[in-house]
């Protein structure tokens, strides 16, 4: 009796797997990759919300690896890089403020007037940049 | 946080918890091996003479069940197949090592995993096998500098069956199940043709 149950059980398990393999299509496999990428992206965003940059970076890379065609992973990677830059900016801003004089203040006022124009041109140029190079240059990105 | 297996590589618990879980799983694995009859060399060695196919039955059951679970979990997006640990394939070293492994297994009736189970259940031959295992490991590390080139040759990386079929895990799953059942049927036929005659 036990032997029969064991054989029937094994056949049922194998049958379930074979049926799943036959009934799934390539699109289903791609869909599962997208779902995996979405899960990794969600975990990366959750880690970023908790200020765990290292973990967020790891999940973002896994999201890109799971589905390289999906841009969500690259977007999260860009968010993480921005967060990393913002985290390192306060120390450099303080040093710049401490060393400036009145003449420097006048110069910076002129520069500040020019900055919005530069920022506008930069933001106009940014959407044109493809998302992929951001991922490829992740090692070189710095603030 | 979304659940993605493997849990440790996806940061669900730390390395300490991972080690504790490994110990627990090891105890469970040893218990199952012992209950399946792998704690006796008299049950393992006869497969090489086609007299007893218990080992083939247990192995095929385990392979088919595990492969099915991983495959189903993968297509439903719970398992990241690319994150599963698969050791690097060094073709020539694996062939030579596998041959040596097989010779040792036929002579002793043990493999390293079942030998640990045998030692735990106070089998004296398992103890001698385990001692031989450690002597062999020491000998290997001693001569490694001379055979390093051979040991690291033909590095095929993380080589899996789906790489042979264009990355389609469905086909690799079907091949796995087909080969497993084919092996079992082969062993059952050989048992009838050869094994029963030798008893």
Indicate the burial class of B78 (C-beta count within 10 angstroms; 0-12, 13-18, 19 or more).
Answer: middle
**Rounded average pLDDT over A32-48:** 86
CB A73 within 8 A of CB A40: yes
Q: pLDDT over 90 for what percent of chain A?
A: 9
Q: How many residues does chain B have?
A: 199
Whether residue A13 and residue B174 make contact (CB cut-off 8 A), yes or no, is no
CB of B120 closer than 8 Å to CB of B141: no
- A21 falls within a domain: no
What is the domain partition of chain B in residue ranges?
1-81+166-199, 87-159
Q: Which pLDDT tens digit goes with each residue over B58-109?
A: 999 999 999 999 999 988 888 888 788 888 999 999 999 999 999 999 999 9
Q: Which two tokens stand for residue B88?
A: 């690097």
With a CB cutoff of 8 Å and minimum separation 6, the contacts of B70 are B79, B81, B84
Residue of B6, B161, B170 for testing the chain A interface, max A β-carbons within 10 Å: B170
Q: What band does B176 get if pLDDT is binned at 50, 70 and 90?
A: very high
B169 contacts A29? CB cut-off 8 A: yes
pLDDT of residue B184: 94
In a domain, A9, yes or no: no
Residue A140 lies in a domain: yes
Residue B91, both tokens = 């073709």
Interval A89-110 mean pLDDT: 60
- Continuous H helices in A50-101: 53-66, 72-99
pLDDT-based confidence at residue B199 (cuts at 50, 70, 90): low
Of the candidates B137, B30, B169, the one whose C-alpha atom is nearest the C-alpha of residue A32 is: B169
First to last CA, chain B: 59
pTM (predicted TM-score) = 0.73
| pLDDT number for residue B11 | 77
- Omega before A96 cis (within 30°)? no
Is residue A117 in some structural domain? no
Residues of A in contact with B83 (CB under 8 A): 62
More confident site: B145 or A32: B145
The answer to whether residue A118 sits within a structural domain is: no
Looking at the domain assignment, is residue A15 inside a domain? no
Mean pLDDT computed over every residue of chain B = 90
B137 touches chain A (CB under 8 A): no
Residue at token pair 């799934």: A24
Find out whether B43 and B52 touch, Cβ atoms under 8 Å: yes
* pLDDT tens-place string over residues B102-130: 999 999 999 999 999 999 999 999 999 99
Euclidean distance between CA atoms B8 and B43, whole angstroms: 36
**CA dist., res. B153 & res. B90, Å (int):** 6
pLDDT digits (tens, 9 = 90+) for B19-66: 999 999 999 999 999 998 888 888 888 888 899 888 999 999 999 999
Any idea what the CATH number is for the domain that residue A44 is in?
1.25.40
Over 60: is that where the pLDDT of B4 sits? yes
B172: pLDDT strictly greater than 70 = yes
CA separation, residue B60 to residues A1, A47, B77 (Å): 20, 41, 25
**In this model, does residue A138 exceed pLDDT 50?**
no
Confidence of residue A142 (pLDDT cuts 50, 70, 90): very low
How many domains is chain A partitioned into structurally?
1
| Integer-rounded Cα radius of gyration of chain B | 19
Give the CA distances from residue B86 to residues A29, A95, B75, B82, B89, in Å, rounded to whole numbers and listed in that order.
Answer: 21, 50, 19, 9, 9
Residue A3 is assigned to a structural domain of this protein: no
Two tokens at B80? 């990241």
Q: Return the residue of A nearest to B57 by Cα.
A: A7
| Percent of chain B scoring above 70 in pLDDT | 98
Q: Give the residue, A12 or A114, on which the prediction is more confident.
A: A12
Q: Highest mean pLDDT range out of A88-92, A115-119, B154-158?
A: B154-158
Q: Pick the most confident of A67-71, B43-47, B162-166.
A: B43-47
Range of the structural domain that residue A137 is part of: 35-112+126-143
CB neighbour list of residue B36: distance below 8 Å, 6 or more residues apart: B54, B58
**Nearest beta carbon to residue B75 from set A13, A32, A43:** A32
Mean pLDDT is lowest, of A43-52, B53-62, B163-172, B190-199, for: B190-199
Q: What is the per-residue pLDDT for A102? A: 56
Other beta carbons less than 10 A from residue B46's beta carbon:
19
Residue A13 has its nearest CB partner, among B1, B68, B168, at: B68
Cβ–Cβ under 8 Å, residues B55 and B40: no
Q: Report the distance separating Cα A98 and Cα A105, nearest Å.
A: 12
């Amino acid at each position: 009796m036990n032997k029969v149950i064991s054989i029937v059980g094994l056949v049922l398990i194998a049958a379930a797997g074979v049926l799943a393999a036959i009934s799934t299509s390539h699109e289903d496999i791609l869909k599962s990759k997208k779902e995996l990428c979405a899960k990794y992206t969600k975990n990366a965003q959750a880690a970023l919300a908790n200020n765990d940059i290292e973990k967020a970076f790891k999940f973002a890379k896994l999201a890109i690896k799971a589905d390289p065609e999906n841009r969500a992973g690259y977007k999260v990677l860009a968010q993480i890089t921005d967060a990393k830059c913002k985290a390192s900016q306060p120390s450099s801003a303080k040093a710049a403020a401490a060393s400036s004089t009145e003449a420097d203040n006048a110069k910076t006022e002129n520069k500040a007037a020019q900055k919005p124009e530069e920022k506008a041109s930069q933001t106009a140029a940014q959407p044109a940049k493809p998302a992929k190079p951001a991922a490829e240059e992740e090692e070189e990105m710095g603030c | 946080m979304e659940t993605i297996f493997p849990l440790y590589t996806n940061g669900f618990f730390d390395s300490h918890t991972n080690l504790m879980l490994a110990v627990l799983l090891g105890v469970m694995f040893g218990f199952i091996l012992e209950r399946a009859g792998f704690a006796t060399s008299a049950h393992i060695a006869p497969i090489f003479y086609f007299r007893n196919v218990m080992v083939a039955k247990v192995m095929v059951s385990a392979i088919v069940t595990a492969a099915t679970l991983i495959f189903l979990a993968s297509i439903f997006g719970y398992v990241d197949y690319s994150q599963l640990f698969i050791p690097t394939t060094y073709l020539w070293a694996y062939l030579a090592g596998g041959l040596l492994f097989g010779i040792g297994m036929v002579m002793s009736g043990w493999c390293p995993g079942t030998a640990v189970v045998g030692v735990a259940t106070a089998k004296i031959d398992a103890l001698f096998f385990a001692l031989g295992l450690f002597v062999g490991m020491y000998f290997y590390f001693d001569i490694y500098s001379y055979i390093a080139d051979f040991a690291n040759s033909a590095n095929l990386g993380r080589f899996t069956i789906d790489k042979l079929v264009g990355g389609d895990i469905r086909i690799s799953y079907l091949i796995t199940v087909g080969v497993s059942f084919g092996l079992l049927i082969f062993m059952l036929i050989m048992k009838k043709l050869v094994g029963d005659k030798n008893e």
